[in-house]
Amino acid sequence: MKAIIQTDPGDPTSLTWQDTPTPTPADGEVLLRITTAGVNRADTLQAQGHYPPPKGDTDIIGLEASGVIEDANGCVRPDGTPWYAGDEVGALLSGGGYAEYVAVPAGQLLPVPSGYSLTDTASVVEVACTVWSNLMMTAEVRKDDLVLIHGGGGGVGLFAIQVTKALGAQVAVTAGSEEKLEVCRNYGADVLINYREDDFVEAVKEEGGADVILDIIGAKYLNKNVSALAKDGHIVIIGMQGGVKGELNIGKLLSKRGNISATGLRYRERADKARIVAATVEHVWPLLENGTIRHHIDRVVPVQDAAGAHQALLAGDITGKIVLAVE
């Protein structure tokens, strides 16, 4: 098959479409013929050498894809019915999306939401699993909670706003411009905070504190997040755009009986991923199908131009998702 191979490990732009062996699905895996692959920020980190694949997994980039099952290899759906060659699916991957074929553990296959194209599907798998696993399976957002979403205008942020609103909770967001805040408002955010001009701690405290904080900043926001937290609140850290090491005021955390979790999808065990995928299909897919959650594809580019897609993402001139068309 052909796939995007990084020919120079030291050069994140050396992403070349070239021949490489077609993967052989192991027991419990299907062989997927890929039609579309989603591009994620983490992919750019991997190209820069900062985000290696889990041990034993392919080092072809790409955390999500969609396509057609080429070889079902005896795999079954969660309800026990078989997958068949020819079935159209989405797939949560630990790598390998930028390619013609990928082997996928059956538990990481997702049906195509009704009304969705394969291209749409490839663009929502990662973000949907990320948002659902963190907001619900880790932080257990409840009706009437106040959820603070940092970077509300980003890909994760816009999706998280909509899931949170669908759960009946209130949403506060931070973003760096009035334009992004306006987009957040359109997607349902209730409290808009321009982090370049206002102190999010004060703004959130005025609302009684955040019951849940979805954080992508890390160190730089650690103590501010604790300050903004309501009693029994939960900070879930999924990104470290503001650094890795920060001071934690345990006394302040204890006075709020606060909780901090830091999570990622990629290195989880298969059973855990299957659990997340199943919950996402159960709870988020209906919201895609009935239009409660909208998502936006900024552009579709040929997979051969993966390097250009990375550059566009890093330049920051993207609203919504970039996807790679494989056929």
Ligand X SMILES: NC(=O)c1ccc[n+]([C@@H]2O[C@H](COP(=O)([O-])OP(=O)(O)OC[C@H]3O[C@@H](n4cnc5c(N)ncnc54)[C@H](OP(=O)(O)O)[C@@H]3O)[C@@H](O)[C@H]2O)c1
Q: Which residues bind ligand X (CB under 6 A)?
A: 41-42, 130, 150-151, 153-157, 174-177, 180, 195, 216-217, 238-239, 241-242, 263-265
Which residues from 212-241 bind a copy of itself, rule CB under 8 A? 218-219, 222, 237, 240
Task: Give the residue with the Cβ less far from a copy of itself, 10 or 251.
Answer: 251
* 174 interface partner picked from ligand X, a copy of itself, none, CB below 5 to 8 A per type: ligand X
Measure Cα distances from 253 to 1, 229, 231, 305 in Å.
52, 9, 9, 47
Instruction: Quickly list H helices, 9-69.
Output: 41-47
84 belongs to the binding site for a copy of itself (CB under 8 A): no
Structure tokens, 303: 């997979």
Secondary structure letter of residue 134 according to DSSP? I
Q: DSSP states of 169-185 as a string?
A: -EEEEEESSHHHHHHHH
Which residues from 240-299 bind a copy of itself, rule CB under 8 A? 240, 243-251, 253-264, 267-268
Structure tokens, 27: 């027991």
* 176 interface partner picked from a copy of itself, ligand X, none, CB below 5 to 8 A per type: ligand X
- Are 321 and 300 in contact by the 8 Å Cβ rule? The answer is no
Instruction: Quickly list H helices, 27-154.
Output: 41-47, 118-122, 125-132
Task: Give the residue with the Cβ less far from ligand X, 241 or 259.
Answer: 241
Which residues from 179-218 bind a copy of itself, rule CB under 8 A? 218
* 150 interface partner picked from a copy of itself, ligand X, none, CB below 5 to 8 A per type: ligand X
* 97 interface partner picked from a copy of itself, ligand X, none, CB below 5 to 8 A per type: none
Exposure string for 131-151, b = 16+ CB within 10 A, e = fewer: bbbbbbbbbebeeebbbbbbb
* 177 interface partner picked from a copy of itself, ligand X, none, CB below 5 to 8 A per type: ligand X
* 180 interface partner picked from a copy of itself, ligand X, none, CB below 5 to 8 A per type: ligand X
Task: Give the residue with the Cβ less far from ligand X, 165 or 321.
Answer: 321
Which 3 state secondary structure label does DSSP give 93? coil
* Residue 139 identity (one-letter amino acid): A
* Residues of this chain that bind a copy of itself (CB under 8 A): 218-219, 222, 237, 240, 243-251, 253-264, 267-268
